[in-house]
Amino acid sequence: MAEEQTNIAGSLCMGPHTLNISTKLFETNRKRLVDALQKVKENSTVVLQGGSEVSFYDTDTSYIFKQESYFNWCFGVTEADAYGVIDIITGQSYLFFPRLPADYAVWMGPLKTLEDFKNKYKVDHVHYIEELPAVLQKLNRGHLLTLTGRNSDSGLTSKEATFDGIEKFKVDNKTLFPIIANLRVYKSELEIEVIKYVVEVSSAAHRHVMRLAKAGLYEYQCESEFLNYCYKNGGCRHSAYTCICGSGINSAVLHYGHAGCPNNYQLKEGMLCLFDMGGSYYGYAADITVTFPVNGKFTAQQKLIYEAVLKSNEAVFKAGKPGTSWADMHLLSNRVLLEELKNGGLLQGSVDEMMHEDLAAIFQPHGLGHFLGLDVHDVGGYLDGCPERSSRPGLKSLRTSRTLEKNMVLTIEPGCYFIDPLLDKALADPNKSKFLVPSVLNTFRGFGGVRIEDDILVTENGIINLTKVPRTVQEIEDWIAGKDDERKYA
């Protein structure tokens, strides 16, 4: 049996054509957590509760299970309804699984024994959940450390572990959150390997879709092909977020693709496609945006805006390295964009003064980019002690203002969109309208937008791009025309 399925002991994998994730990845994460907590709260145990399946309302069907990210980071467990414990004094790890009734096997497959789980996840101890209180009592540490804190992107609170009998223990729910969230910001070598993999799979899926997209297709048909590519070839059962497949004017809708705008427009000759999609492999996310013309040839207008955004993207690649502030990178990309729009005749006047007026936020209301990891908008952006969120247009949408450090993984995703309500508001504001050239600007109404989003790793000396898609106008036109082959991007 064992050799027929994809998982072998101590690894997670979807077959030999996919990446084999060693459980050492999670062991390393736990070790880092233990090291950090030993300094502040040694006499304690971390208690985390894994995620549960979510039913479709009151029915007996459910969404495909997705593990909670903090729990995933510590244990890599793919099953629902587990608990995990880490003893900070000894560093030993414990997993707890539901004891399932025997007849479950008929419906859900052979029941995994505790030994099976121990082999799969390589933790020190495995028990049934009902033993959790007794195990913790025997450990007899001063505190249980549970997780609760505010996600700075959603404003929601992380799920705090609870179990029958927890009232007998002293619980500290303050210590763990900032420490584990901050650890998740710095990716280990093993995590970087997984992120590289999922970014490569997603890059290849984008390349596939770029060649396939053509006038007459519907946006969602491109979404469907992307999802199939990532799952079939890369083992990614989930996407990291809802696919954004905007064509034409929809490319200016930043979070297009949701139920109210479900990627249901038809691609037309002469339009741009802005496709923002990423796979998820054992929870690790990719987040890539490509912008290209439906027919494979940029118009002069499209080229102008595309190359403005590309220069903005490239400037950040050049400037970014450990020690630079992400907020500064955002402003740098804004400045380059404004310069290019001025060169293109859409803007006039002093770029310094435009920067002072936050003019770029009219064209790029979102931030330059964000941390990427187990969450597509990964955690740790605005922890206590980090630079606070700005209140300035554009900058206030930046998901972190931290200083770049080695082993951070982020997206770089400048964009330029022509959004009527924002243009109208700016044209009506004398402080802003003086920079605008309405006669030119108005020819871009209905244009949509351009976004160029790469997934990057901060190294000791700079930034490296993990994304492998055609990026220059020439590369894109060549790729769609079939002139380049896969080897160029392998």
- State which of positions 193-252 bind a second copy (CB under 8 A): 218, 220-221, 223-225, 227-228, 231-232, 235, 237, 240-242, 248-250
Sorted by sequence, the CB contacts under 8 Å of residue 132 that are 6+ apart come out as 83, 85, 96, 163, 165
- Fill in the per-residue mask, 267 to 296: x = in contact with a second copy (CB under 8 A), - = not in contact: -x----------------------------
CA-wise closest residue to 413 among 474, 366, 377, 449 = 366
# chain residues binding a second copy, by CB under 8 A = 80
The DSSP secondary structure of 321-352, one letter per residue, reads: -TT-BHHHHHHHHHHHHHHHHHHTTSB-S-HH
Q: If binding is defined by CB under 8 A, does position 158 make contact with a second copy?
A: yes
Q: If binding is defined by CB under 8 A, does position 114 make contact with a second copy?
A: no
Q: If binding is defined by CB under 8 A, does position 261 make contact with a second copy?
A: yes
Distance between CA atoms of residues 24 and 435, nearest Å? 55
Distance between CA atoms of residues 403 and 326, nearest Å? 6
Residue 119 burial (10 A CB sphere; 0-12, 13-18, 19+): middle
Whose structure tokens read 């435009």?
354
Shortest CB 15 distance to a second copy, Å: 5
Please select the residue that binds a second copy; options are 85, 419, 436, 480, rule is CB under 8 A.
419
Query: 65: phi > 0 → left, psi -120 to 50 → alpha, else beta; which?
Result: beta
- Fill in the per-residue mask, 36 to 75: x = in contact with a second copy (CB under 8 A), - = not in contact: ---------------x-xxxxxxxxxxxxxx-xx------
Task: Show contacts with a second copy in window 348-367 (CB under 8 A).
Answer: 365
Please select the residue that binds a second copy; options are 22, 28, 38, 78, rule is CB under 8 A.
78
Please select the residue that binds a second copy; options are 43, 90, 157, 343, rule is CB under 8 A.
157
Cβ distance to a second copy smaller for residue 233 or 442: 233
Please select the residue that binds a second copy; options are 113, 137, 162, 264, rule is CB under 8 A.
264
Cβ distance to a second copy smaller for residue 307 or 455: 455
Distance between CA atoms of residues 181 and 378, nearest Å? 9
Shortest CB 14 distance to a second copy, Å: 6
End-to-end alpha-carbon separation of the chain, Å?
Answer: 34
CA-wise closest residue to 150 among 178, 127, 122, 169 = 178
Q: If binding is defined by CB under 8 A, does position 375 make contact with a second copy?
A: yes
Q: Which secondary-structure segment (H or E) carries 479?
A: helix 473-480
Q: Are 56 and 62 in contact (CB under 8 A)?
A: yes
Task: Show contacts with a second copy in window 463-482 (CB under 8 A).
Answer: none
Q: If binding is defined by CB under 8 A, does position 79 make contact with a second copy?
A: yes
Cβ distance to a second copy smaller for residue 116 or 475: 116
